[in-house]
Structure 1
Amino acid sequence: MIGSELDAAGVHQPALREAYRQCRVLNARHGRTFFLATRLLAPYQRPAVHALYAFARRADDILDDRDTGLSPDQRTSELTALSNKLFTGLVDHEPCDDDPILAAVVDTARRYSIGWELFDDFLASMRMDLTVTDYPDRSALERYTYGSAEVIGFQTLPVLGTVVPREEAAPYAAALGKAFQLTNFLRDVDEDLARGRVYLPADELAAHGVDRDLLSWCQAHRRTDARVRSALMEQHALTRAVYAQARPGIAMLAPISRPCVETALTLYSKILSRIEALDFEIFTERATVGTPQRVVVAAGGLGRAWAARIRDRSR
């Protein structure tokens, strides 16, 4: 399967094929919902999306993988080394042959003319995770989500294609990336708190009588205090609104890409539904979309994807 995808994408050099293969493996292992949605893309689009995901995952793992046992200084050093090596490839056109993930993402950036500035913005947000543990207000959080999520939407737009000028579709792509990130913030409050971070605006929590100490109490007692539930309900509604902002952008994408993005939007928004179904008891159970639901949503998307590919071939 991966061989046919790489053939379709025009990737023929053996080492580069292996680099993309490793990116695909990483996506399949760690991005279950995302990987399922990428199966609905045309084969030639998938390697690039796998490469972009793998690079983002690589940076995220430097910051959050507790199994590595890295100290804060070591994480800073690793992220700096990753950044330097990436830009050596992107800007100076030096080979990254000894790092498959970087080799694949640099190749993707060149094939689709993805500007290095977007990677710089992404890494700027990743560097924030080295020192920033709380966000005082929405604008501070949005500075983080711009680089950590919105630029991912900008990066993928050239791969997905649009039927309108790209700059017209860009705000909707950014909104969808932001919606996915905000969903993760709600789902992962417990995990993030264990890492010493809170990705919810402090002033909006305080309006409900919530602070870090109360969140820590909820974590220790494995229950959601009524004040925390009220605050989470507000964040949940705000996140739903961002999905509504993003949805009109699907029609701006190339028809062959719409089933994938619509499926991803549906699956991620179902995480919000699951959080609500749990009555916001997020310290007891991690909200996930069950396999049966994922299969049903993906099956509908697959039918639309095949139809789109048939129409695309007939043109």
Structure 2
Amino acid sequence: MIRAELDAAGIDDPRLRDAYRCCRKINAAHGRTFFLATRLLAPDQRPPVHALYGFARHADDILDEFNPDLDTTTRAQRLHHLSERFFAGGDYRDDPVLAAVRHTAQRYNIALTLFADFLTSMRMDLTVTDYPTRAALNNYMRGSAEAIGLQLLPILGTVGPADEAAPYAAALGRAFQLTNFLRDVDEDLMRQRVYLPADELAAYGVDRDVLMWCHTHRRTDNRVRRALAAQHEITRDVYRFAIGGIALLAPRSRPCVATAATLYSEILDCIEDSDFAVFGRRATVGTARRLRVAATGLIQSWRLRRPGSDRPQRGAA
């Protein structure tokens, strides 16, 4: 299957084919829901999407890989080295992820400023552990989530000017990350991080100490439950806005994005159904449900890719 995808994408160079294969393996191993959604893309779209995922995962591993021998200084040096190499260009013979993502960025004319924004937010994770306001959190997400949505846009293609679809693509990336923040409150506390606006938590009498009490006792305090419910509704509002932009995407890309939005938003359902018991458990959408949603999207995707369907040129924006 991977050979057919690379052929469809017109990737002929043997080294580049190996590089894209590496990114696909990373996506399959670490991003189950995202990888499942990529199966709904046209074959030629999948390799570049895997390359973007591989790069994001590469940076994330530098920050969050559990290794007591890696202190903040060492992680900062590795992230700086990754950034320098990415922007310097080259053939990246020793780094297949960089080879694939730079090839993707060039081929689809993805602005390098989006990668700069992403790496800026990754550097924030080295030292920033709390966000005092929604504006501060949004500033972080501009690079960590919205930039990725915008990186994907040239690959997905649009039916009109890309600028019209861009706010929705950015919002969907933000919605996905806000979902992760709610799901992973407990896990993030173990890394000494809180990705929820402190002033909004304080309105319910919640601070880091209260969250740590919940983490230690593996239960959700009533104040925290109310605060998380408020964050949950804010995230729902972002989804409501973001899904309005799916119709602006190229038809062949819509089933993939709609499926990803459905599955990620259902993580919110799981959190709510558990009465916000996010300490000691991780909300997930069951495999059977994920496969049912994906099957519906796959049928739609096949119909849209039949001969005679309206298919934009690669990288159309």
Does residue 8 (structure 1) correspond to residue 4 (structure 2)? The answer is no
> Is 2:109 the counterpart of 1:137?
no
Aligned residue type for 2:8: A
Q: Unpaired runs of 5+ in structure 2?
A: 312-317
Q: Give 3-state SS (helix, strand or coil) of 1:196's partner.
A: coil
Q: Secondary structure at the match of 2:168?
A: helix
Partner of 1:74: 74
Alpha carbons of structure 1 residues 10 and 140: separation in structure 2 relative to 1, 3 Å: same
1:167 correspondence with 2:163: yes
What is the aligned partner in structure 1 of residue 245 from structure 2?
A: 249
2:99: which partner in 1? 103
Q: Does the 8 Å contact 1:256/1:312 carry over to 2? A: no
Deviation at 1:61, TM superposition (A): 0.7
Q: Secondary structure at the match of 1:234?
A: helix
How far residue 68 of structure 1 moved from its aligned partner, in angstroms, is 6.6
- CA contact 1:175–1:242 (8 Å) conserved in 2: yes
Distance in 2, Cα, partners of 1:122 & 1:151: 6
Q: What is the RMSD computed on CA atoms of the aligned residues?
A: 1.0
Structure 1 gaps, min length 5: none
What corresponds to 1:61 in structure 2?
61
* Letter matched to residue 96 of structure 1: Y
Deviation at 1:98? Answer: 1.3
The 1:102–1:190 alpha-carbon spacing in structure 2 relative to 1, beyond 3 Å, is same
Correspondence for 1:265: 261
Aligned residues: 311
The AA in structure 1 aligned to 2:159 is V
Shift, 1:69, TM fit:
3.5
SS in 1 for 2:82: helix
Deviation readout 1:45-98 (Å, 9 max, x if unpaired): 000000000100110110011147311111000000000000011xxxx22121
- The answer to whether 1:222 aligns with 2:194 is no
TM-score norm. by structure 2 comes to 0.97
1:48 & 1:234 partners in 2: Cα distance? 36
2:184 corresponds to 1:188: yes
Q: Distance in 1 between matches of 2:45 and 2:310?
A: 19
Offset of residue 314 of structure 1: 7.1
Asked if 1:17 is matched to 2:17, the reply is yes
> What SS is found at the alignment partner of 1:123?
helix
CA distance in 1, matches of 2:106, 2:310: 29
SS in 1 for 2:94: coil
TM-score by length of structure 1 reads 0.97
Please identify runs of 4+ aligned residues in structure 1 that moved more than 6 A. none
Deviation digits for residues 212-268 of structure 1, max 9, x if unmatched? 000000000000000000000000000000000101110000000000000000000
